[in-house]
Amino acid sequence: MASGLTWVEIDLCAIAHNIDQIKNIIGPDVLLMAVVKADAYGHGIREVARCAADCGVDFLGVARIDEAIELRKAGVKEPILIFGYTLPEFYSSLIYFDLTQTVYDIKTAERLSGVAQKENKQIKVHIKVDTGMGRIGVVVCSPVSSDLKAIMKYAQSEIEKIARFPNLDLTGIYTHFATSDEVDKSYAEKQFNLFVDFIEQLNRCHIRFPLKHAANSAAIIDMDKTHLDMVRAGISVYGYFPSKNVTQKINLIPAMTFKTRIVGLKKVSAGFKVSYGHTYKTLKATILATVAAGYGDGYSRMFSSAGHMLVRGKIAPVVGRVCMDLTMLDVGNIRGVEIGDEVVIFGNQGKDQISIESLAQVRNTINYEILTGLTDRVSRVYIKKQNI
């Protein structure tokens, strides 16, 4: 049973709204994948996947097979693509749970084919192509070689070998952009052109894929020509733009609000030392409120004497070091504060707001990390605000 002291509220109507906004951009002829990896960016993979399915998404994307299996066991029936590597001992599970596996090397393809043959089944596969991201994928570019034609020819031969393995159903091919969320889209455009050229090269060799996809959230919004057969929406599903450089031409509504409660109040004098290391001393007599959230919940120590929370609709600064379970606020300028009061760590309270982007700026990070950094002991509470 959850303590009721620290929780996030997730508005499923906001997620549905965001999906609708994305659909309006891509139109009816392009399939939509909702990316629900990393526990749906901290929002809860089962509930978000069900919500996305109800909204008519065509595919779900996960990073690892355990995420995919969790969805199948929860009754989710939509096609699921696993972006990452799957260990050979789980290949039979790909068949049993009807999952699509990303492949980017011959050895993996051969092993998958062997298991599929043994069970007299097909394993669905999407080929990952590295056009310049530098993570995983069949490499079709190189910063140290000018002989692009030779590189693409070798990549073609790799995929030809993969295509010859029996019992592999090559249903898709995709790549991922490295800079689509930046002001300068030229590198992403170069990646896209390289991907399209490579697909045409494969077509000439009679290797064709029903689904071709490249666009992430930033490209969905800013690079219409990259939409191809399907797009992969991640951060935008949850109501956030990938970066401040992405055109805000759609109305995204953040789905998550992070909340906690005041569990202690004390009047203190000027010069009162707060928290571990005594890194903070009060400048004047004030009131300190202790709230039931700390780095054990995903509220980073980097917010020590640098963050803010909302109390009774007013900004309250964090004072002293953030602890594992508790954080202290100066509420001396806020009237009527009581133990048990609801506190907003990010989101709206009254007319004021603390955005995830502002927290990310303090930590010198991105909104993705703030969202996915919430720990399991933070309860997820699902609501539906019908006024969206």
Query: Residue 278 and residue 321: Cα distance in Å, rounded?
Result: 8
Structure-token pair, residue 36: 């629900």
Cα–Cα nearest to 33, from 25, 42, 46, 23: 23
Q: Considering the candidates 73, 154, 266, 276, report the single residue annotated as catalytic.
A: 276
Cα–Cα nearest to 156, from 227, 212, 225, 106: 106
Residue 334's alpha-carbon distances to 59, 216, 313, in angstroms, are 48, 43, 9
Length of the chain: 388
Query: Residue 282 and residue 186: Cα distance in Å, rounded?
Result: 50
Q: Considering the candidates 37, 124, 128, 185, report the single residue annotated as catalytic.
A: 37
> What string of DSSP letters covers 4-39?
SSEEEEEEHHHHHHHHHHHHHHH-TTSEEEEE-HHH
> What string of DSSP letters covers 300-348?
-GGGTTT-EEEETTEEEEB-S---SS-EEEE-TTSTT--TT-EEEEEEE
Q: Is residue 91 flagged as an active site residue?
A: no
Q: Is residue 37 flagged as an active site residue?
A: yes
Catalytic annotation, residues: 37, 276
